Each structure stands twice: as C-alpha cells, then as structure tokens.
C-alpha cells in the first residue's frame, strides 16, 4: 500500500477508535453519542429493550476499538476466538456498570445470571484463544 494511503487509513482508524471508545463509555454516565447526525443526548425515559440495545452498542464499539488499537500497535491479527472473548468481557463490564448508572434513571433491571454467563464464556474463550494464539503466532 502506498505511504499516503496507509497514513490516511491509519488516521481514519484512529478517528473511528476515538469515536468508538467515546460512544462506548458515555452511556455509563447517562448519555448517548451519535455520529450521523452528530448529537449528544441525555438518556431519559427509555424502555428496557432500548437499554439492552444501548449496552450491546457499547460492547460492539469497545470491541471494535480494541481490535483497531491492536492493529495499530502490533500490526498482527488476533486468533478467531479473540472477538468473542473481548465482546463477552465488554458485555459483562457494561452490564455490571449499568446497575449503578442506567438502572438508576430507567426501568432497566440487571441480569446477574447474564453477567455470570457472559463472564464465564469470556474466561473460557480467553483461555482457548491464548492457547490457539500461541500456536498461530509461533516465532
């Protein structure tokens, strides 16, 4: 890839990573960030289903940011199970944090069994991923 195109790609990836991290974290503080159109809104009077989608959105953005940063720092991919592990960790963390923030201002109720399930799945996927990554990226 020519240098100018590579620099443009890296700049775009940095902008996307910044947006993804910001959009993933602001719901924990009771806000939403949208890019098309650009707007920053307070979370209020929203339904249970919408909060669930908001948490999934945060998990997707954080997973995307982790993989962009991994590419930027190491220039090598993770194994195929890594996205599952990162997504499940993100979902467990955001579900736990929602208990102290989003659940206080909406009718959303936290699923403790869901947190335990996704955290267990994340740990198992992480363990399996680390084993397969050692085989894939042996020097």
For residue 132, the model assigns a pLDDT of 63
For residue 114, the model assigns a pLDDT of 83
Q: Domain ranges for the chain, please list them.
A: 3-136
For residue 76, the model assigns a pLDDT of 64
Give exposure, 117-135, as e/b (b: 16+ Cβ within 10 Å): ebbebbeebbeebeeebee
For residue 29, the model assigns a pLDDT of 87
Which stretches in the chain have pLDDT values below 70? Answer: 1, 75-80, 131-139
For residue 18, the model assigns a pLDDT of 92
For residue 67, the model assigns a pLDDT of 85
pTM exceeding 0.85: no
For residue 135, the model assigns a pLDDT of 60
DSSP calls for 25-87? HGGGGTEEEEETTEEEEE--S--HHHHHHHHHHHHHHHHHHHHHHHHHHHSSPPPTTHHHHHH
For residue 137, the model assigns a pLDDT of 55
């Amino acid at each position: 890839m020519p240098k100018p195109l590579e620099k443009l790609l890296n700049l775009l990836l940095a902008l996307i990573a910044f947006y993804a991290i910001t959009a993933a974290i602001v719901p924990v503080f009771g806000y939403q960030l949208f890019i098309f159109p650009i707007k920053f809104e307070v979370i209020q009077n929203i339904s249970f289903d919408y909060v669930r989608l908001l948490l999934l959105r945060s998990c997707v953005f954080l997973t995307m940011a982790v993989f962009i940063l991994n590419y930027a720092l190491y220039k090598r991919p993770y194994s195929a199970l890594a996205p599952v592990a990162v997504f499940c960790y993100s979902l467990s963390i955001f579900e736990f944090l929602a208990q102290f923030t989003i659940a206080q201002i909406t009718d959303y109720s936290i699923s403790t069994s869901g947190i335990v399930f996704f955290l267990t799945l994340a740990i198992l996927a992480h363990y399996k991923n680390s084993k397969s990554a050692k085989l894939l990226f042996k020097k």
